[in-house]
Amino acid sequence: MFSSCKSVLSVFVAGAVLSGCQSVSEKPGQTNTAIQPTSSVTVNKTEQVNQAETAAPTDLWVLTRQHMQLDLHLDQARVQTQLNWYKKHPTYMDRIVKRATPYYHYIVNEAIKRGIPTELALLPIVESAFDPFAYSHGRAAGPWQFIPSTGKHFGLQQTWWYDGRRDITASTEAAFTYLQQLNKRFDGDWLLALAAYNAGGGNVSKAIKRNKRSDKATDYWSLKLPKETMAYVPKLLAIAELVKNSDAHGLTLKEIPNTPYFTSVDTGSQIDLAQAAEMAGITTKEIYLLNPGFNRWATSPDGPHSLLIPVAQATQFQSALKNLPEKERVKWTRYKVKSGDSLISIASKFDTTVAQIRKSNKISGNRIRSGQTLMISTASQQASEYALSQQQRHIEKQKTISRTTDRKEQYHTVRSGDSFWSIARKYQVGVRQLARWNSMAPGDALRVGKRLVIWSKPTQTALSSSDRQIIRKVGYKVRSGDSLSLIADKFNVRVADILSWNKLNKKRYLQPGQRLTLYVDVTRTN
């Protein structure tokens, strides 16, 4: 799914559209070189005007508007509800635009290249808020939120080292291919295709058949679909309307330059990501943000052997890569096998896989002997340097939970026969909670010996600081203008407690009508 773009030409030919890592195509009889000014060529004023009118816009939002195709259905109440929410939270769109900036040139140009509505390039806002590390309770991952089975169907590898569902270019290509297939299945109806992307083609087809049996209309707006899907398409249409008519809605979208942000560089082999970042002159965090498909401290030894590198640093990186032998692209450690060691325990110790140790040492089975020396590839830097690796993201999540809850941390080692349900029941916590705490989904397989973190509920005494307190469970309906701090102040509780009691994410906004559960000392309420 990866393209290998060795160079990027930043000159736009009038009317041409470039993808995120493409060079300008040559026209018949024309060499693919930069255009040089010459005094022997005379351009009249009419030609200059025509060139100006057809030149590619400098802002990607303008480019997006030029290729929109959908009816935004602003007469639909569901669209208006979503539109009003986004208009009331302009800082949300500001954060989204900042997060999307490195990726959007590639995505929107890929949509244009395929001839599909550029509104589809905005879909990651709905799916993941343009967070390539997003992972849902339904096991969906990446900016386009592919579940494992659908990802595999569209060729997205999912291994210990690498998850193609998070890969920017691979997942975008897979998502657009999937959407085009759904569009064809539903006779060119993009709204039904979008609904099917969220709920599954089978569920949309069943809803259509139900309506046909009742002699009802079968367009998206007439179908009864899952609650999430009923809001899913309106969310995208509302976002598209904000982009299309941002000025009319009082929204200022920060310009995203219409130039490629990254290019793909063929590495030819596995490479340590911290070392790659240093070679490119960028931070390790940026290398992960451009290459979020890589789970560990290095690229996968089995490929893909390519990295997305900022265009401005690509030449520097390619030069450094050319002068670095493959055997020096990861650090190698000599390890002397001790009594009691196994390939599994050694792989865990060095954050690698049994398969990689076997391959590096030409071992065919699992048998090793005490005193034997193994060559093992290891990270060149401390674990904290790989801040966006899967393991470090999990560690950071635990630190965040610790700062925002009164719950007590404890651990459970998975035994044979354990399940999320049985463990959650034992510790009196929710199944989804338990999975989320461990950066997993309830449907993920539990490996015997895996150590799970559990944040136990505070006891009643933890809620009471004196015998005079009278604690009551109170239901509260969020009103317009409410915030977590206002509600906490009203009931004399902490924001951290509200978040914990209601399993809320502090970064998400409260919505009017949303119901909260509070544990309140009724002797102290305002």
> Hey, which residues are catalytic here?
127
Q: Which long-range contacts (CB under 8 A, 24 or more apart) does 53-59 make?
A: 54/14, 54/15, 55/12, 55/14, 55/15, 56/12, 56/14, 56/15, 56/16, 56/17, 56/258, 57/258, 58/255, 58/257, 58/258, 59/255, 59/256, 59/257, 59/258
Q: Report the number of secondary-structure helices (H) and strands (E) in the chain.
A: 21, 8
Rounded Cα–Cα distance for residues 104 and 85 (Å): 23
Q: 454: closest CA among 475, 472, 431, 482?
A: 431
DSSP structural state of residue 349: H
For 11, counting Cβ atoms within 10 Å of its Cβ (0-12 exposed, 13-18 middle, 19+ buried), the class is exposed
Q: Cβ distance 377 to 298 under 8 Å?
A: yes
Q: 67: closest CA among 121, 127, 104?
A: 121
How large is the C-alpha radius of gyration of the chain? Answer: 27
Q: Cβ distance 378 to 405 under 8 Å?
A: no
- What are the φ/ψ torsions at residue 151 (nearest 5 degrees)? -60, -45
Rounded Cα–Cα distance for residues 240 and 65 (Å): 9
Q: Cβ distance 358 to 312 under 8 Å?
A: no
Q: Which residues pair with 334 in a beta bridge?
A: 375
Torsion of CA 104, 110, 112, 115, to 10 degrees: -140
Task: Please give the single-letter amino acid code of residue 357.
Answer: I
Task: Give 131-177 as a 3 state SS string.
Answer: CCCCECCCCCECCCCECHHHHHHCCCCECCCEECCCCHHHHHHHHHH
CA angle at 327 for the pair 324 and 330, rounded to the nearest 5°: 85
Rounded Cα–Cα distance for residues 260 and 77 (Å): 38
DSSP structural state of residue 306: E
DSSP structural state of residue 298: B
Quickly tell me which residue has 């999430």 as its tokens. Answer: 228
